[in-house]
Structure 1
Amino acid sequence: MMKRLFAVVVALVLGTGASVLTAAPASATAGTCAALYTTIFSVKAGSTVVYKVELPVDADFSRFCTMWNGSPNRWVAGAERLQISLNRCYGENLATDGYFGRATELALMRAQAEEGLDDDGIYGTQTQNYLKWAKTTSGCGRIWV
């Protein structure tokens, strides 16, 4: 009787699409930043381009991507752009080698804390939106004005 009850419960759970897996963090909904690509993002005031920054993107060229120490693509062009920005805008002294390792993670955590973000060392949409980025010319700026 217990085996039959268990089988019915399992069938109901599976039939409804319910899952017992734990939920992924919100940042995991974005794609992983791609190994070879970045994009030039124009920061505008109205229709006027104020400045440009180069941002990491995923394989679909969406700027909503994630990177972290241990992610599948730790050698990424976007990690190099992040390292340049952490060096220029937050006073870090990282090698700009495009490798998202422990040093980049710790530097990102310091920048996240400075910006009042959760300092988890994970690069995602919220971090991208609030970090200062190295402009393509000189200086730093945010992707929103």
Structure 2
Amino acid sequence: MELGFDLERLNQDLIKVMIAFALALPIGWERGRGRYSVGFRTLPIVSVAACGFALVAGTDFPGNAEAQARVLQGVVTGIGFIGGGAIVKLRHNVKGLVTAASIWNAGAIGAAVGLGNLNIAVVLSIINLTSLVVLAYLNADGDDDESSQS
């Protein structure tokens, strides 16, 4: 197996990873402000990691949609596990669902960037951030995160 080093490819990949980071950073910042915060850094790191996996899948399995789908399936499953850790049940309230969904969305942003779908990544980032900021004003209970009866 050849482990060649390609400076031009490195620059292209670095740009994609930085775009994934930048698109998830505002979402991470917003989610990091709450009482049940997953932390400011989590969402950008999830996005970067998903981007990295997508870049590897695209590079190592070019034209093999089945292999790329298996890699993305693993990424989606892993991110779901991380998001599940953000969900907390306190008596009759469930907290962290919006954060978990944002973690999953950060993974989708990263994967989209890694697969070359920058338009989708930008749209996902804008809609996620807009939902967090604008819809928070419509939240009747005033919590930092959502609350639902279970």
Same fold judged by TM-score > 0.5?
Answer: no
Q: Which has the higher strand share?
A: 1
The structure whose RCO (Cα within 8 Å, separation 6+) is larger is 2
Greater Rg, structure 1 or structure 2? 1
Scaled by the length of structure 2, the TM-score of the pair is 0.27
Scaled by the length of structure 1, the TM-score of the pair is 0.27
Q: Which has the higher helix share?
A: 2
